[in-house]
Structure 1
């Protein structure tokens, strides 16, 4: 059950809702805020602090009359606040110490509670569809983790390395973890870890959240062994996709409002949940879109809480500010959608907001400079939007037919009298229409320049897709409840209970089965093997395709063979040359580099252009290598010479190994190690 946008704003918290002003109580609470993190640190139980902070935040809010609503809203507020506070954590002396962050968080909660004189309170009401929302991350986790469950690190490699974007994001996470804050606050140190010189300016709110989760989980700001750190990060990536599914389903229920009950609510949640957990959205995981995943989760919640605002305007403003920070820091591209959402909502709810313009102004003065930091950094370091939609890149195309269907459902309320009367649908429709128009224009820009739509246009489509899923509750306007309770049931509790048991619950179960079925949930169809190519096949469950082990990395076998002879992350700068594809050699070498934390000194991109060397054969007597082979070999030798002495090259038992061994003997100052693994290919 959500709150109506036009509910009266109450002053105070009612009887028993306020703290009395006792100085002794304030001192005691502040002491507890400092003693609890210290005690948990002593017993290595800092992992208890995140749920404690979540419950504390939820207990001080007054929006949401359902327990799960309150917790979800608190999670959005807390996530955005942690990301914004990362600017402070990056520069204060304690950096990412879990105890220091715990002190800070609990102290803020105590001070806010005392200033507002609010007693901690949580609603007790639950809804049947809470189970669907809570089940989403569990099902998502099981499907995503299935290929690697119980596997050794080497056997996990085909899946942990499915795309090189996994490496890029882990490298940024590793940089934040090891320098103790946002990479862009310590650029000189960050360059040692990240994949390209300006990669430290990439939006890293999601990576920062994962680091904070890790320091609480391990009770230490020291990331430890790189292999263990990489495995934990892979787990956080899977968790992030589950949280996205949870956020989208909850947001759809919130936007639908309290009028959508019973089987209709179950239908909306199951359709949206099926699309988020089993459909195309699940493919964001194995494509390695970590920042986008968390950015979409924040965007979904922002869209929901702005178009269907809580009764308390001040809390709505604070929530919007925190979620905007979360979106921009996680995936700055979506600042375009933020502007559309805020402007459309401000127009519809202008009278409501004008009553609190001073509070809104103060919040904006604080939040806008914080939110602007990643966008400014992106503009300075060439991650801006200029030329973005003509850049290349490979990605799975979301179904245009499904995108159109959900978009039409989102704007359909304007065709009904009831929809035009409800303010939320007067916000939803223009947001979807304008966002779709912007996305279409950006696709046109890329098509005009290159003859095809480009990578970041697909990102825009995924943003509008997510908002359309959130607005799917609009379908409730066209689903008249034919299962009304019998006359007089409101006075006869037994009749109402019998109606729910015999009619409403079976109808809700049927609606759930129907919703999951239409989203490719039943059956979990895998479709063709991924080896046939990344075609946009829409009538399969992409989560099942991944869980079946069809999507793997081409260089995983070579990495596994490497792992049989060497220790990953041993600190030895290494190049792996196992195939004629310079791109695959480059990505395998990149993986070894991130585990050594030496990407900044490897310059692995210089390997590009050294194709077709592994299959070189000794030339016939009296002949020489071809000009193309000579050129590729010269490029490789120049790249090797650019590194510090002591570099290691791992190759198969082939002619290239002989050439490199001869070159190493001719350049003893390089102290080059040429190691041969028989059968490496």
Structure 2
């Protein structure tokens, strides 16, 4: 008898009996074939979204550094986003671009190849533990709160929540541009000129766009379409929901990372109280303001920073997976929001020092492999950004200073109490809070020296401090009383404090999160609905610049701006965006006439309310009708100046080939 080993399989053969060859090569060939046949089948069934579940589940099954269901899924998501950002460089130039069959087949083929190279087969996660139930309850509760304001509204109401920050218009522009050209905007510079004015095109196409690219890929899978949506309102609807999904991803990342900091020894009761407090802070504190300000890329960057913090505090059991995940997270932060890259580099350096990575050749190989992807976006953005970028103003809400100070103090107390710094996990979490705080202090110092006050980007760095501190707050699970009633009695006052108040010094009642959940914070749904109306009437703009003059200045401004991006007409709208801004210099009929004459395309004015006005006679000493009690907000202009309808009719009569008037009826009338 002869024992023969081939391809990992052992068979026994007697004299004269032919030895059977291993079926492994045939099995792998079938797996690679299935990796392409499955996407083809789901595409024919218009069910490409199922592939997203298959890819995440497939990668989760190959994980060995974690055991639980939540652990494997979260680590897989942490790896997939940066990997997609890098793969996007290929997708942008190959002939199929973002076609779901091509992208899905490529992704599944990579999973099969990983299985082949590592010798791993997809494995089921370990049993569902009490700690998983705790995380599920906390995640499910705060996710329901986050979804409620959007589920109960129409598209106008959903978009209205996000548009007051007005940055959302340019995020949509970049997302839609990527979907239309089939790849990164910076790899398609000529194509980008069709969507943005020449003076802005370079800055927009070189903006960090990993999040926007991922959204464009997800859009193709959700709609089961090889091309971007022809209808701008459809694309906007997908974009809004993907922004909400980014916030849900941030919730999952923070809660999971906080549980990791808490450690396996934390009891379910204490862990539930801790997770409940963190969940409340995410929705009723400052993080929700990042969502309603319309900053999807910052949401993703914060989520990746949270995951990195958790993995540095308590690394994965598998050294190879930990190294790959940390490296990929650096790439992801760079592609999504590289303002947080210095913090991420420091955290990766802390882990590298602890593990003495310079002694391992494979670590140097990884550094070489990720160097170009990590540096790509910062270098592109530096080419387009101004030298005073950190001092530019923006629409970020002022962070709750008092609550942030309380959070930091509580985290440091929990992690350092009774020799807590002797534990590497606690020590690394404290270093994370210190690194984020030092970064915020550096930005504040620079802004105070250059412009004498803190603005925009300082608030962004405070968002990072809050997220890192919330991850570190997982250490509270080691400090709380062991019994349920005392444990919840400790955290309940903090939860109530976050729910009932917010603002710069915690002096605004109620909190932003409660205002959003209770529909007290609505944004500008009327402006959003006007934009949707204009887009549905003229999906491609009709060869004209469409300007809303139907109602009050802010509503008109939002409508004109968002209609222009949904109509793919923003290349003509930038000057109108700046001119209609209610905070800019008061407008006169003469400046309006000049804008019409200088427009490279005809102008279409949408009018409705006879009282609507915004023009003045003297921009240096404007007289406002709305300053008088009982006057409609739409009557914002000088009573002696022309109303919006009168101004539009005057210009249409004087320039009939250049001006058109549409007497529209807003959908809420």
Normalising by structure 2, report the TM-score. 0.83
Within 5 Å, which residues of 2 pair with 1:86-485?
A: 86-136=88-138, 138-154=140-156, 156=158, 158-194=160-196, 196-197=200-201, 198-224=203-229, 225-350=231-356, 353-355=357-359, 357-382=360-385, 386-412=387-413, 415=416, 418-479=419-480, 481=482
- Is 2:253–2:307's contact at 8 Å kept on the other side of the alignment? yes
- Is 1:589–1:604's contact at 8 Å kept on the other side of the alignment? no
Shift of 1:419: 2.4
Match for residue 513 of structure 2 among 507, 521, 543: 543
User: 1: distance between equivalents of 2:25 and 2:650?
Assistant: 80
- Is 1:648–1:672's contact at 8 Å kept on the other side of the alignment? yes
Match for residue 671 of structure 1 among 635, 658, 668: 658
User: 1: distance between equivalents of 2:221 and 2:314?
Assistant: 34
User: 2: distance between equivalents of 1:438 and 1:429?
Assistant: 14
Q: Deviations over 1:365-384 (max 9, x none)?
A: 1112012111111101116x
Moved more, 457-466 or 141-150: 141-150
Q: Deviations over 1:343-394 (max 9, x none)?
A: 22222332xx345x211111111112012111111101116xx423322123
Q: Deviations over 1:509-566 (max 9, x none)?
A: 87468646622389x54x69xxxx9985467443221122222345825954983996
- Is 1:207–1:291's contact at 8 Å kept on the other side of the alignment? yes
Within 5 Å, which residues of 2 pair with 1:35-54?
A: 35-54=37-56
Distance change (3 Å), C-alpha of 1:464 and 1:153:
closer
- Is 2:415–2:475's contact at 8 Å kept on the other side of the alignment? no
Equivalent position of 1:83 in the other structure:
85
Shift of 1:423: 1.9
Shift of 1:296: 0.5
* SS of the residue 2:537 aligns to: coil
Shift of 1:139: 3.7
- Is 1:651–1:676's contact at 8 Å kept on the other side of the alignment? yes
Shift of 1:440: 1.3
User: 2: distance between equivalents of 1:15 and 1:349?
Assistant: 37
Shift of 1:46: 0.9
Unaligned runs of 5+ in 1: 1-13, 482-506, 614-627
Distance change (3 Å), C-alpha of 1:561 and 1:453:
closer
Shift of 1:655: 3.8
Shift of 1:219: 0.9
Match for residue 592 of structure 2 among 621, 628, 636: 636
Within 5 Å, which residues of 2 pair with 1:522-537?
A: 525=500, 537=507
Equivalent position of 2:615 in the other structure:
none
* SS of the residue 1:520 aligns to: helix
Distance change (3 Å), C-alpha of 1:153 and 1:75:
closer
- Is 1:266–1:511's contact at 8 Å kept on the other side of the alignment? no
Shift of 1:462: 0.8
User: 2: distance between equivalents of 1:137 and 1:636?
Assistant: 51
Unaligned runs of 5+ in 2: 1-7, 11-21, 611-641
Distance change (3 Å), C-alpha of 1:293 and 1:645:
closer
Shift of 1:145: 4.1
- Is 1:577–1:650's contact at 8 Å kept on the other side of the alignment? yes
Distance change (3 Å), C-alpha of 1:138 and 1:26:
same
Shift of 1:81: 0.9
CA RMSD of aligned residues (A): 3.3
User: 1: distance between equivalents of 2:534 and 2:428?
Assistant: 58
User: 2: distance between equivalents of 1:424 and 1:656?
Assistant: 63
Shift of 1:472: 1.3
Equivalent position of 2:15 in the other structure:
none
User: 2: distance between equivalents of 1:212 and 1:596?
Assistant: 21
User: 2: distance between equivalents of 1:438 and 1:349?
Assistant: 24
Shift of 1:248: 0.1
Q: Deviations over 1:318-366 (max 9, x none)?
A: 001111111111111001111221222222332xx345x2111111111
User: 1: distance between equivalents of 2:445 and 2:71?
Assistant: 39
Distance change (3 Å), C-alpha of 1:430 and 1:144:
closer
Shift of 1:80: 1.7
User: 2: distance between equivalents of 1:308 and 1:89?
Assistant: 34
Match for residue 568 of structure 2 among 584, 597, 601: 597
User: 1: distance between equivalents of 2:515 and 2:366?
Assistant: 45
User: 2: distance between equivalents of 1:373 and 1:508?
Assistant: 50
Shift of 1:109: 0.7
Shift of 1:199: 1.4
User: 1: distance between equivalents of 2:428 and 2:117?
Assistant: 34
Within 5 Å, which residues of 2 pair with 1:615-634?
A: 632-634=588-590
Q: Deviations over 1:383-413 (max 9, x none)?
A: 6xx4233221232222223323332344447
User: 2: distance between equivalents of 1:515 and 1:593?
Assistant: 47
User: 2: distance between equivalents of 1:141 and 1:303?
Assistant: 22
User: 2: distance between equivalents of 1:407 and 1:172?
Assistant: 36
- Is 2:526–2:555's contact at 8 Å kept on the other side of the alignment? no
Distance change (3 Å), C-alpha of 1:209 and 1:220:
same
Shift of 1:580: 7.2
* SS of the residue 1:75 aligns to: helix
Q: How many residues align?
A: 612
Shift of 1:123: 2.3
Normalising by structure 1, report the TM-score. 0.82
Q: Deviations over 1:152-200 (max 9, x none)?
A: 4455553353431222221211111111112221122223334833212
Within 5 Å, which residues of 2 pair with 1:501-520?
A: 507-508=483-484, 511=487, 515=491, 518-520=494-496
Distance change (3 Å), C-alpha of 1:54 and 1:152:
closer
